[in-house]
Amino acid sequence: MAAGVSNLHGETSYRYRKFKSDSMMAITVGATILTLIPLFLVLGYLLTKGVASLNWAFFTHMPAPVGEAGGGMANAIVGTLEVVGIACLIGVPIGVGAGLYLAANRASQFTNWVRFSADVLMGVPSIVVGIFAYAVIVRPFGGFSTLAGSVALAAIMIPLVTRTTEEMVLLVPPELREASLALGVPHWRTTLSVVARTALSGITTGVILAVARVSGETAPLLFTAFGNRFWSTSLFHPINTLTVQVYTYAISPFADWQRQAWAGALVLTGIILALELGVRWVTGGAAKAPR
């Protein structure tokens, strides 16, 4: 339309429109660059400030008494592993089982309600989940505990695992299920040994992404697992975790603790990114966490 028009006014107008278009699209590129700057800044500072403080003591020592320099985050690292591990023990069977149910009963109204609940749960702020765990575990049992922290994290994990399990199972071609049934394999065995087995890598991916997500949570642990200066792995006592430890040190006035906070943050981010990237690398970039 504009080509071939030798009208001066038309040409100027087109040049202006083209200029405007190029500028706007350049602005979007600028927005992308601007958005990615914090990513590199955060990772960069983590590396520079954190590496300096990483030493053998960091991984093997307990936190030092208030005001004293030195010490490490050994109990925090182990604590995170324990709290997250137990959260998995609670959350994964429930999430996977519920996901299997949703995939197998697509038409029922009950399924719609469950799916809706899972979606709603995903939008609940994690600190509110912490309050819930406080109300049902800490209050009745009379104290902070690893169990309470795990229950809070499990409550965050369950809707995530449920949705990804359902999605992955639905991706399995229905012909596979029919082929198994036609061999005279009962329904339940077909669902477990054929359908779920085929979807297994996808389900595992969903679980790992959920683990990565809850490993980074701090708020729900603040008044459930609470934190512990000393070594403790008991299920019914407070336990230290990496996130809470970093938080406590970061807001403290002690320079040495702040320095250690960077190291802790580096280790924490390293673990989480390793999980997120690892899962994507193994699945060829197909993994995407539900929002």
Partner 1 sequence: MSDSIPVVRHERMRAPVHVRLFGDRIFNTATFILALSILALLFGLAVALIADSFPAIRAFGLHFFVTADWDPVNDQYGALPFIYGTFVSSFIALAVAVPLSLGVALCLSEMAPDWLSHRLGFLVDLLAAIPSVVYGLWAVFVMGPWIRDHVEPPLAHWFGWMPLFQGPKVAVGMLSAGIILAIMIIPYISSVCTDVFRVVPHTQREAALALGATKWEMVKTAVIPYGMTGVIGAIILGLGRALGETIAVAMVIGNSAQISTSLFKPAATLASVIANEFAEATSDLYVAALIELGLVLLILGIVLNVVARALVLVVQQRRYRETGR
Partner 2 sequence: MGDGRGGESAKVAMAEKLVVKNLNAYFHKNRALHDVSLSFEQDRIAAIIGPSGCGKSTLVRCLNRMHEVVPGATASGEVLLDGNNIYGDEVDPVQVRRRIGMVFQKPTPFPTMSIEDNVAAGLTLNGVQISQAERHQVIERSLRQAALWEEVKDRLRRPGGSLSGGQQQRLCVARALAVQPEVLLMDEPCSALDPISTARIEELLLELKSAYTIVIVTHNMQQAARCSDMTAFMYTGDLVEYGETKQIFTNPTRRETEDYITGRFG
Give the footprint of partner 2 on this chain (CB under 8 A): 107, 173, 175-176, 178-186, 189-190, 193-194, 197-198, 200
Place of tokens 């050994």: 74
Rounded-to-integer distance, Cα 229 and Cα 135, Å: 24
> Which CB atom, from 184 or from 284, has the smaller least distance to partner 2?
184
> 91: burial class by Cβ within 10 Å (0-12, 13-18, 19+)?
buried
* 149 within 8 A of 90, measured Cβ to Cβ: no
Rg (CA), the chain: 25
| Residue 240 touches which member of partner 1, partner 2, none, C-beta under 5-8 Å by kind | none
Tokens of 168: 């992955």
Smallest distance from the beta carbon of 143 to partner 1, in angstroms? 12
Cα–Cα–Cα angle for 278, 154, 130, rounded to 5 degrees: 120
Residue 272: contacted member of partner 1, partner 2, none (CB under 5 to 8 Å, by partner type): partner 1
Shortest distance in whole angstroms from residue 201 CB to partner 1:
19
Rounded to whole angstroms, the Cα distance separating 73 from 241 reads: 9
Q: Residue length, the chain?
A: 291
- Choose the contact partner of 36 out of partner 2, partner 1, none; CB within 5 to 8 A by kind: partner 1
Task: State in angstroms the smallest separation of the CB of 284 from partner 1.
Answer: 12
Give the up-direction half-sphere exposure of residue 124: CA atoms within 13 A in the CB hemisphere: 22
Asked if residues 145 and 83 have their Cβ atoms less than 8 Å apart, the reply is no
Among candidates 120, 130, 119, which has minimal Cα distance to 154? 130
89 binds, among partner 2, partner 1, none (CB under 5 to 8 A by kind): none
Q: What does 67 bind: partner 1, partner 2, none (CB cut-off 5 to 8 Å by kind)?
A: none
Between 17 and 106, CB nearer to partner 2:
106
Kindly tell me which of 75 and 100 has the beta carbon lying closer to partner 1: 100
Q: Is 63 helix (H, G, I), strand (E, B) or coil?
A: strand
Looking at beta carbons only, is 201 or 258 nearer to partner 1?
258
Q: Residue 194: name its binding partner from partner 2, partner 1, none (Cβ under 5 to 8 Å by kind).
A: partner 2
Are 236 and 141 in contact, with CB atoms under 8 Å apart?
yes
Closest contact distance (angstroms) between CB of 287 and partner 2 is: 19
CB 221, min distance to partner 2, A: 38
In whole angstroms, how close is the CB of 202 to partner 2 at the nearest point?
12
Q: Closer to partner 2 by CB, 25 or 200: give it.
A: 200
Query: What, of partner 1, partner 2, none, does residue 135 touch, CB below 5 to 8 Å by kind?
Result: partner 1
Q: At what angle do helices 146-171 and 200-215 cross, to 10 degrees?
A: 150
CB of 132 to partner 1, least distance (A): 5
Closer to partner 2 at the Cβ: 201 or 258?
A: 201
Query: Do residues 166 and 102 lie in contact, with contact meaning Cβ atoms separated by under 8 Å?
Result: yes
Asked whether the beta carbons of 53 and 263 are under 8 A apart, the reply is yes
Q: Which does 102 bind (CB under 5 to 8 A by kind): partner 2, partner 1, none?
A: partner 1
User: Minimum CB separation from partner 1 for residue 191, in Å?
Assistant: 7
Instruction: Pick the closer one to partner 1 by CB: 82 or 287.
Output: 287
